[in-house]
């Protein structure tokens, strides 16, 4: 009657798991609660003010984005992320790598963050081959979306890092990827994929630009040092950098990280079902389950907590759209200058400013949580991007005057 | 036939008393009447709250020191019965919320108890209305610091469920 | 029978207090602890990274400020604030209202926030006369710096609002200044003086621009509606607005206000001396006494708390200086344009942008706590000021090209 036995349950491994077992369903035999909650990432019902599992096109939400990515597949299709269940289908179906729909053919590297086959493939065919094989070819040996193998050691269920890119970055900075404190691992397992990356030109290796640090300035220093450019802007011919979801890099500068929280504290909270406690693997926007995520530390009403998050997000959204608007103007004004015969050499400085401005805008726009992970830092970076884009327009206006 | 009835009745009452005694002991019934934290932590979701108190300046205080009214014996047990009923109902139907919220009436009981013990420190400033604000707004971590939920102290060692009331165990 | 009445000890007033008694020392006879701690605002020892009681010149800390206030007394002398004890001496000694040292003569209005004689004077000579009398004349009947009479009712020691400007703003917005919740009063007593204000041109009445709200946009809407200008910039001839310490207006947008804190929670915390706990009246930077101010709610180490505040302040300071730099450039570029004969009419739009940009910069620069009271809001307002100042420079550069 006092549900005493509930407190004493220890997880037992019944069905033995092969090394790097890709099929999460087999893992689920041993851990039904984690597996069932994991399957719920299939649910695409809930939408919050700026996030949630509903897939909508980001190109429609802010029309400037199409101009900012002119000449790059992100201007063709770019959606808000959904649950992990859809990771494989979404990468295989996106127009971005479908030459028929204006995309650019890609390589096995895209699969690094989309499938639980990854650890197995890394062991079997090795990174060289995996990263170099064309995407369409690698498709054949990839069967499952993100799964237990991405984050867990089948023997001990301990968290482990299976993504080679983050393992390399960590060891480069003197850390042993297999011997990190548990609370750090509860963030790093997410950082495997929720990070800024680029494909090395030569061998398409997935690499993280973390050499000098994870702030926009430090990433820019690295990209400039290796003279890296993702694409040349169609209209302004500016050498551009594409930022992808630097969620971890932004999060570590926020108050929650400063006070010792990990991604899992809000995105994979403890829940008790029928008295048994386990980690909820339904990874989603925490605003859909405030009672389990925030109320544990913030004893205010759900309405009060949600309202405060939306005040933060509204402020960041307003700056994000204003920044993309100015950058779009800058690209257009350079294009006009080119049409009216301004010489290339003179535009070099203006283009540098546009490259810097868009890198910073994208760092926040591609980042998730609409600034909540680190509100002051997000506002400060967007303020820099507005400053740089306007500086470009001032110098351009002067240029036209001078000639 | 009658001869048979008497021993049957006797056996029945014996079995019944034995069962009742066993149930009372198993459910630690005696503990429910007395003032000790052990009675609250019979329900395991109350254990994380005990874990924090056990490690706080208030380790000498029992749950009921703060959570039950101490003005007089009637209000004490009336409140305990009412709160207890609610909690038991929620508990048995697995309806407890992950991050349990305090009822308004319980908040006022707590304020009264803080003042009951800390009257000295409170004497002067209390007259300027500090009491219209919940002590826990500032003393956020004096009792159960965040993070605080039914699952927030997973492996903490707590006193075992005692099948026998402690007066039997005291050597 | 619930022994509650024991707690409601009414303060024993031993030495009777005259109505509006200006001399705090007499109040101190009844409340020695509060009075002694109040006297400690005399102490000018402690300096924190951006604040503290040490008086230093803000014109030296950011050299751009002199250009931003060209043609206005703030470019002559503008210091960091010190303790309440010095309020009277500092206003009487400042060059800003000393015509001999480049200041501009002022009126009794300056004394509204500098002396405990205020309530008495309001009762005796009344606001019309008080606000209209020249400063040098009113000096004679002002003897004490800020004191108990500014915030307390001598009969009940309850908090009360004695400043006519805030009483008017509150009643205009439908609130009764004498019947407000205690926790709101623990902020409003400070808001009496720590707020943006202006002198009404006609009768020099102290007035708060709160009609449409307390954000920079709302204050601007009010100032534009009454076509108000503090001064015309010496170089760019722009009609300027001077913002003064909108501490309350900024604070109410922050997370601490959102969670129900008042100024007194951090600036006048409870301290226990022996068995008695009382309100510490040594109003100062909370970073000089973290144990009593922050650590009650934030159980982290003092070092950790201070470091986090400084991360916030560094971010805001960097943006504040960048914004003042661009605004100074904009003023200079307009001055050059004037010298090279650009017609006035064309400059109207550019000047509007500069006025808007500097109003927002000043809203944060004049505000105290270097953004801590509301970090995201401060960064967002500074970002707008950078945006507007650069937009002014773009339009100006285009102008020169056109003629
Ligand atoms: Ca990238
Ligand atoms: Ca003003």
User: For the segment A90-127, what is each residue's pLDDT rounded down to a tens digit?
Assistant: 999 999 999 999 899 999 999 999 999 999 999 999 99
Nearest ligand, CA A243: 1
Share of chain C above pLDDT 90, in %: 82
Q: Average pLDDT for residues A81-87, to the nearest whole number?
A: 95
Confidence of residue C5 (pLDDT cuts 50, 70, 90): very low
How many residue pairs from chains B and C have C-beta atoms closer than 8 A? 53
- Please indicate if any CB of chain B lies within 8 Å of the CB of C157: yes
- Does A261 have pLDDT greater than 50? yes
**Cα–Cα distance, C241 to A341 (Å, whole number):** 43
- Work out the mean pLDDT of chain A and round it to a whole number: 92
Summarize pLDDT for A298-329 with one digit per residue, the tens: 988 899 999 999 999 999 999 999 999 999 99
- Residue A346 has a pLDDT of 87
* Residue C347 and residue A285 in contact, taking contact as beta carbons nearer than 8 Å: no
Interface of A with B in 34-63 (CB under 8 A): none
Residue bearing the bigger pLDDT, B102 or A336: A336
Confidence of residue B168 (pLDDT cuts 50, 70, 90): low
Nearest ligand, CA A219: 1
Question: DSSP code of B149?
Answer: S
Backbone angles phi, psi at C247, to 5 degrees: -60, -45
- Please indicate if any CB of chain B lies within 8 Å of the CB of C183: yes
The 3-state secondary structure of B135-168, one letter per residue: HHHHCCCCCCCCCCCCCCCCCCCCCCCCCCCHHH
Q: Average pLDDT for residues A158-165, to the nearest whole number?
A: 94
- Residue C6 has a pLDDT of 41
**Cβ-defined contact of C278 to B125 (cutoff 8 Å):** yes
Q: How far is CA C175 from CA C167, C170, C353, in A?
A: 9, 5, 35
Backbone angles phi, psi at C151, to 5 degrees: -125, -15
- Does B106 have pLDDT greater than 90? no
Residue bearing the bigger pLDDT, A53 or C245: C245
**Cα–Cα distance, A43 to B32 (Å, whole number):** 45
Nearest CA in chain B to C292: B138
Confidence of residue A399 (pLDDT cuts 50, 70, 90): confident
Q: Average pLDDT for residues A214-219, to the nearest whole number?
A: 97
Closest Cα to residue B158, out of B71, B68, B40, B73? B40
- Residue C1 has a pLDDT of 40
Distance between C390 CA and the closest CA of chain A, angstroms: 6
- Does A356 have pLDDT greater than 60? yes
Q: Which two tokens stand for residue C212?
A: 């449409």
Nearest CB among B44, B146, B151 relative to A270 is that of B151
Distance between B120 CA and the closest CA of chain A, angstroms: 29
Share of chain A above pLDDT 90, in %: 82
A9 burial type by CB count under 10 A (0-12 exposed, 13-18 middle, 19+ buried): exposed
**Cα–Cα distance, A17 to A24 (Å, whole number):** 10
* C199 CA distance to ligand 2 middle (Å): 8
- Residue C60 has a pLDDT of 94
Confidence of residue C344 (pLDDT cuts 50, 70, 90): confident
Residues of B in contact with C11 (CB under 8 A): 127-128
The 3-state secondary structure of C136-182, one letter per residue: HHHHHHCCCCCCHHHCECCCCCCECCCCHHHHHHHHHCCCCCCCCCH
- Does B132 have pLDDT greater than 80? no
Confidence of residue A62 (pLDDT cuts 50, 70, 90): very high
**Cα–Cα distance, B26 to C351 (Å, whole number):** 83
**Cβ-defined contact of A1 to B92 (cutoff 8 Å):** yes
**Cα–Cα distance, A358 to A379 (Å, whole number):** 15
Question: DSSP code of C294?
Answer: T
Distance between A375 CA and the closest CA of chain B, angstroms: 22
Closest Cα to residue C114, out of C83, C95, C136, C91? C91
- Residue A186 has a pLDDT of 94
**Cα–Cα distance, A235 to A71 (Å, whole number):** 8
Q: How far is CA C299 from CA A305, B59, C291, C293, C303, in A?
A: 21, 18, 9, 11, 12
Question: DSSP code of C398?
Answer: H
Q: Average pLDDT for residues C84-110, to the nearest whole number?
A: 94
Closest Cα to residue A162, out of A144, A185, A140? A185
* DSSP string of A370-398, one letter each residue: GGTTSHHHHHHHHHHHHHHHHHHHHHHHH
Share of chain C above pLDDT 70, in %: 96
Confidence of residue B139 (pLDDT cuts 50, 70, 90): confident
* A243 CA distance to ligand 1 middle (Å): 4
- Does C403 have pLDDT greater than 80? no
- Residue C2 has a pLDDT of 41
CA atoms A269, A272, A277, A283: torsion sign: negative
Quote the radius of gyration of chain A (alpha carbons, Å): 22
Confidence of residue B5 (pLDDT cuts 50, 70, 90): confident
Closest Cα to residue A243, out of A263, A215, A203? A215
- Work out the mean pLDDT of chain B and round it to a whole number: 74
- Residue B171 has a pLDDT of 43
Residues of B in contact with C9 (CB under 8 A): 123-124, 126-127
- Does A182 have pLDDT greater than 80? yes
Q: Average pLDDT for residues B29-50, to the nearest whole number?
A: 70
- Residue B107 has a pLDDT of 86
Distance between B165 CA and the closest CA of chain A, angstroms: 16
- Residue A45 has a pLDDT of 79
Helix (H) or strand (E) holding C278: strand C276-279
- Please indicate if any CB of chain B lies within 8 Å of the CB of A275: yes
A partners (3+ CB pairs within 8 A) are B, C
Distance between C327 CA and the closest CA of chain A, angstroms: 12
* Interface predicted TM-score (ipTM) of this complex, two decimals: 0.87
Nearest CA in chain A to C375: A376
Helix (H, G, I), strand (E, B) or coil at C272: strand
- Residue C248 has a pLDDT of 98
B118 CB contacts (<8 Å, ≥6 apart)?
A: none
Return the residue in C318, C380, C388 with the most chain A beta carbons within 10 A, the one to mutate for interface testing.
C380
Instruction: Point out the least confidently predicted range of A334-348, B33-47, C155-169.
Output: B33-47
- Does C402 have pLDDT greater than 80? no
- Work out the mean pLDDT of chain C and round it to a whole number: 92
Summarize pLDDT for A361-386 with one digit per residue, the tens: 999 999 999 999 999 999 999 999 99
**Cβ-defined contact of C380 to A259 (cutoff 8 Å):** no
Residues of A in contact with C382 (CB under 8 A): 383
- Please indicate if any CB of chain B lies within 8 Å of the CB of C71: no
- Does C28 have pLDDT greater than 60? yes
- What is chain A's length? 403
Share of chain A above pLDDT 70, in %: 95
State the residue for tokens 């002022």.
Answer: C106
- Residue C274 has a pLDDT of 72
Nearest ligand, CA A195: 1
- Does B167 have pLDDT greater than 70? no
- Please indicate if any CB of chain A lies within 8 Å of the CB of C157: no
Q: Which two tokens stand for residue C177?
A: 């200044």
* A198 CA distance to ligand 1 middle (Å): 4
- What is chain C's length? 403
Distance between C183 CA and the closest CA of chain B, angstroms: 8
Confidence of residue B151 (pLDDT cuts 50, 70, 90): confident
Nearest CA in chain B to C8: B127
**Cα–Cα distance, A69 to C85 (Å, whole number):** 59
Question: DSSP code of A86?
Answer: G
Residues of C in contact with A375 (CB under 8 A): 375-376
């Amino acid at each position: 009657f006092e549900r005493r036995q509930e407190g004493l349950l220890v997880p037992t491994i019944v069905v033995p798991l092969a090394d790097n077992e890709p099929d999460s369903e087999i893992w689920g035999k041993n851990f039904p609660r984690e597996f069932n909650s994991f399957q719920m990432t299939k649910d695409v019902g809930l939408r919050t003010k700026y996030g949630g599992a509903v897939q909508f096109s980001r190109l429609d939400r802010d029309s400037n984005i199409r101009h900012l990515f002119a000449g790059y597949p992100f201007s063709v299709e770019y959606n808000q992320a959904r649950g992990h269940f859809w990771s494989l289908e979404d990468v295989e179906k996106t127009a971005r790598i479908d030459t028929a729909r204006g995309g650019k053919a890609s390589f096995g590297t895209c699969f690094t963050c989309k499938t639980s086959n990854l650890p197995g493939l890394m062991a079997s065919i090795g990174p060289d081959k995996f990263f170099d094989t064309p995407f369409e070819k690698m498709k054949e040996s990839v069967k499952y979306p993100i799964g237990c193998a991405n984050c867990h050691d089948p023997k001990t269920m301990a968290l482990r890092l299976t993504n080679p890119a983050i393992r390399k970055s960590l060891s480069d900075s003197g850390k042993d990827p297999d011997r990190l404190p548990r609370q750090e691992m509860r963030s790093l397992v997410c950082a495997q994929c929720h990070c800024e990356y680029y494909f090395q030109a030569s061998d398409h290796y997935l690499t993280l630009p973390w050499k000098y640090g994870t702030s926009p300035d430090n990433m820019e220093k690295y990209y400039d040092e290796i003279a890296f450019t993702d694409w040349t802007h169609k209209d302004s011919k500016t050498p551009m950098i594409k930022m992808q979801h630097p969620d971890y890099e932004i999060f570590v500068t926020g108050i929650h990280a400063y006070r010792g929280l990990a991604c899992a504290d809000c995105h994979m909270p403890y829940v008790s079902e029928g008295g048994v406690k386990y980690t909820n693997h339904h990874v989603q926007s925490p605003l859909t389950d405030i009672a389990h995520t925030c109320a544990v530390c913030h004893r205010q009403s759900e309405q009060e907590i949600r309202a405060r998050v939306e005040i933060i997000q509204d402020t960041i959204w307003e700056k994000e759209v204003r920044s993309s608007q100015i950058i779009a103007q800058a690209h257009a004004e350079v294009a006009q200058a080119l049409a009216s015969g301004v010489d290339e050499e003179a535009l070099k400085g203006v283009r540098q400013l546009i490259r810097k401005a868009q890198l910073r805008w994208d760092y926040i726009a591609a980042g998730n949580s609409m600034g909540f992970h680190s509100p002051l830092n997000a506002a400060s970076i967007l303020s820099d991007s507005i400053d740089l884009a306007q500086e470009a327009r001032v110098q351009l206006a002067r240029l036209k005057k001078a000639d | 036939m009658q001869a048979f009835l008497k021993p049957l009745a006797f056996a029945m009452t014996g079995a019944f008393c034995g069962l009742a005694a066993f149930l009372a002991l198993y459910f630690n019934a005696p503990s429910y009447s007395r003032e000790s934290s052990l009675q609250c932590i019979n329900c395991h979701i109350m254990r994380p709250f005990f874990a924090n108190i056990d490690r706080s300046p208030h380790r000498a205080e029992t749950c009921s020191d703060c959570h039950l009214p101490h003005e007089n014996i009637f209000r004490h047990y009336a409140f305990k019965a009412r709160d207890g009923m609610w909690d038991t109902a929620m508990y048995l139907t697995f309806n407890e919320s992950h991050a349990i919220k305090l009822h308004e009436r319980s908040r006022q009981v707590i304020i009264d108890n803080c003042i009951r013990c800390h009257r000295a420190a409170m004497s002067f400033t209390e007259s300027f209305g500090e009491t219209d604000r919940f002590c826990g707004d500032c003393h956020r971590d004096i009792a159960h610091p965040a993070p605080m939920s039914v699952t927030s102290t997973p492996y903490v060692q707590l006193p075992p469920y005692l099948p026998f009331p402690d007066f039997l165990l005291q050597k």
